[in-house]
Every structure is written in structure tokens, then in C-alpha cells.
Amino acid sequence: MLTDAPWCGHCKALAPEYAKAAKTLKEESSPLRLAKVDATEETSLSERFEVRGYPTLKFFHNGKASDYKGGRTSPEIISWLKKRTGPAAMTVDDVEIVKTMTEKEDVFVVGFFEVYTHASLS
């Protein structure tokens, strides 16, 4: 959630990046959603979540709010969110997935592991 004020210069600078991140997440069919709140209108909400300056970004996970500590560009916002909500690891069984990752991500790690089944451990 982004809390801002209409007169805030930093808020005005962040707004297009925040909107771009929201649009990208929606186009990716991500379950993540971004919200924007005018803190000058929603004062009780701002007080409830201890907004002390503008813009303030809050991350909500399982009903609990925490401060956003990422960058201010669309890719940085998306990356920060995905790191906190996505799987810690994923199984890759297709080289095309790795190719896609090299195009989309700045950094990623690929590990090769031998798969053991219950029968192979006997």
C-alpha cells in the first residue's frame, strides 16, 4: 500500500513507477496487488499504520503490515515483492524456463541435484 499526499513531490515522482508495477503484476496474472491511499483524506488509516511521512509504502502479508524497504522503480518494487512472496526455490525441468529467467532476472542461481526416491534409499 502506498500512502501519499497530493502536494508531495516525492509522491508525484513515485506514482508512475508504482502504477507501472501494479500494471505489470496484473498483466502477469500475479496474485499480488498494489493499493494507493491519499493519506490526507484517509487520516485514520494513516494513523493506524503509523504513517509518519510521504510517500510511505507498507507491505501486508497474512494480515500484518511491515515497512517496505526496497527501491523506487517499477522493477525494484516488483522484485522486492516477489522475493518476499514467491517460493524460495523452484524445480526447473525445462531449459526454456532457464532461458526465460536469463531474460527476465538480473540474478538467479541454478543448482543441479540428484533426485532420490524412497525406493532408491533402500
Give yes or no: 70 in active site: no
> Active site residue: 9, 63, 111, 118, which one?
9
| 111 given a catalytic annotation | no
List, as one string, the DSSP characters of 91-113.
Answer: ----HHHHHHHHHH-S-------
CB-side exposure of 105: number of CA atoms within 13 Å?
14
Quick one: which H or E segment has residue 36?
A: strand 36-38
Q: Would you call 63 a catalytic residue per the annotation?
A: no
CA–CA separation, 117 and 55 (whole Å): 51
Catalytic-role residue among 10, 53, 71, 86:
10
Active-site residue flag, 61 = no
- The set of catalytic residues is 8-11
